[in-house]
Structure 1
Amino acid sequence: MTTILVTGGTGTLGRPVTARLRADGHEVRVLSRHGEPYAVDLREGGSGLDTALAGVDTVVHCATTPRGGDERSAANLIAAARRAGVRHLAHISIVGVDRVPLGYYRSKLAVERLVVESGLGWTVLRTTQFHDLVVRVLGILAKAPVLVLPAHASDQPVEVAEVADRLAALAVGAPAGRVPDLGGPEVRTVESLARAYLGATGRRRAVVNVPLAGKTYRAFRAGGHLTPGHAVGRGTFEEYLAVRFGDGEGGRRG
């Protein structure tokens, strides 16, 4: 079986990727900033990263943060992977990183370029946003008495377990380059997602759609982050909400 290193292996995607790979019999090392025995800050690199990569055949790069540093982390990882003779670097990215001028998206696109130019065998999978991210954002917005949403905006959330299955399968295969996007099963208005969330959590909020300004909003409004031609995910947002919150009767009120 293959020896695989999963960066960000304790995160939202890294955990199910690790579980899937181990269930298939692979030796998996989990690299994160605080998880022993491979506690490494990728932004700093160092000998700990070389130790984590010793004897590794494949790296699944899930580690990321919107707070900055992804490019430096990727550069350190790639340099160490070259030294270790890694065969395959599988990287997860986001649909629209080349179309939406959001700072985090630009950083993700720069990381993609580093992967492509790494000299390693590589695979890049772009996906739409995970269901849990949509819920986190809506939970923050719903703290106010009125839930204010960007007008004329849509999303295409996908189940993280499906992404984990796809990424794990790609990791154990041959390097495949840029593979087809993986999008959720439905392109939904943000308002419809918000109303589903309110119903599932038992919250009552007035919903107001507000037009915004700027290049990023225009790119989202134009659907730059969507991939309707690759709506291959199966789990719907309502199914995710039902598992997480039940039927809404036990949800939060107020």
Structure 2
Amino acid sequence: MTAPILVTGGTGTLGSLLVPLLREAGHPVRVLSRHARPAADGVEFVSCDLLAGEGIDDALAGAETVVHLAGGPKGDDVATRNLAGAAARTGARHLVYVSVTGVEGVPMAWLRTKLESERAVADSGVPWTTLRPAQFHSLVLGIVAKMAKMPVVPAPGALTFQPVDERDVAARLAELVLGEPAGLVPDLAGPADFTLPELLRGYLAATGRRRPMLPVRMPGKIGRAYREGRNLARQGAMRGTRTWEDYLAEHVGSPKEPATAAR
């Protein structure tokens, strides 16, 4: 019998797209979550607390490939160290981790935990693969939708995104999961780069609204990092195919005035 692929965060934004791709490829999947539920369509659900380190070895037993997607605002590094240690103890042969672009360049606490998580994976003793995708379309949409509710929208022009569609990330990740361990692979960004004002204008046009935008400057070390583009994908990055404009048309409406990509 084929060993199951264990996926943490298998019911989340990316996991819910990845799991069906692994099933279509003929692999049984075991999803690690806080609460167990009945198995369905070749997917087994097991309960485990990654932060507390409880029940991880039992959850990983028999899984040769472990895919770590679960994350939160705090404790990602602790959870990843616990998972990586269990993967080594239980004899996993491939540990796959999803990080984020700019993890080494922007001095933010959350990104520091992602970088520490990358190191925990690389130091685990288990052959590994790490992918750094850019910000998901759904995340960027949530940001601009909230900002567009303000009567005057602050628009830091130095803040640039490379929004990538979750489906492109899931497809790339499935290739990596089913392939051989490859270490740190090229980043994955969307087809085009956009400043935040460009993303806001595209969203406002798609929703038929108008808002004045106030240019602002991001202060401090974080602002400097963004102005220097240290949050962007590394040279040699792969590019997704689904565009921000298409995502807006699918989830909001048809943009009347598509945003202009920064080249």
- Category of TM-score, reference length = shorter chain: over 0.9
- Alpha-carbon separation, structure 1, partners of 2:140 and 2:5: 30
Q: Which runs of 5+ in 2 are unaligned?
A: 38-44, 257-263
Q: Which runs of 5+ in 1 are unaligned?
A: 250-254
Q: Return the offset for 1:143.
A: 2.0
Asked if the contact 1:131/1:237 (under 8 Å) is kept, the reply is: yes
- Alpha-carbon separation, structure 2, partners of 1:7 and 1:147: 37
- In structure 2, give the amino acid aligned to 1:16: L
Q: 1:252 maps to which residue?
A: none
Aligned length: 247
Say yes or no: does 1:42 pair with 2:50.
yes
TM-score (norm 2): 0.89
Q: 1:17 maps to which residue?
A: 18
Question: CA 1:13–1:35 in 2, change beyond 3 Å: closer, same or farther?
Answer: farther
Pick the aligned partner of 1:146 from 152, 155, 176: 152
| CA RMSD after TM alignment | 1.6
Structure 1's consecutive aligned runs of 4 or more residues displaced over 4 angstroms after TM superposition are none
The secondary structure found in structure 1 opposite 2:66 is: strand
Q: 2:259 maps to which residue?
A: none
- Alpha-carbon separation, structure 2, partners of 1:157 and 1:189: 11
Q: 1:99 maps to which residue?
A: 105
Identity %: 48
Asked if the contact 2:186/2:236 (under 8 Å) is kept, the reply is: no
Say yes or no: does 1:246 pair with 2:247.
no
- Alpha-carbon separation, structure 2, partners of 1:146 and 1:231: 36
The secondary structure found in structure 1 opposite 2:242 is: coil
Q: Return the offset for 1:153.
A: 2.3
Q: Return the offset for 1:201.
A: 2.4
- Alpha-carbon separation, structure 1, partners of 2:92 and 2:145: 41
TM-score (norm 1): 0.92
- In structure 1, give the amino acid aligned to 2:250: V
- Alpha-carbon separation, structure 2, partners of 1:182 and 1:2: 28
- Alpha-carbon separation, structure 2, partners of 1:124 and 1:229: 15
Q: Return the offset for 1:203.
A: 2.7
- Alpha-carbon separation, structure 2, partners of 1:34 and 1:247: 39
Output one character per residue of 1:146-175: Cα deviation in whole Å (capped at 9) or x when no partner: 111213321111011111111111011111
- In structure 2, give the amino acid aligned to 1:98: E
Say yes or no: does 1:57 pair with 2:57.
no
- Alpha-carbon separation, structure 2, partners of 1:7 and 1:30: 6
- In structure 2, give the amino acid aligned to 1:204: R
Output one character per residue of 1:188-210: Cα deviation in whole Å (capped at 9) or x when no partner: 12111111111222332111220
- Alpha-carbon separation, structure 2, partners of 1:205 and 1:34: 43
User: In the TM superposition, what are the counterparts of 1:57-206 in structure 2 within 5 Å?
Assistant: 57-65=64-72, 67-206=73-212
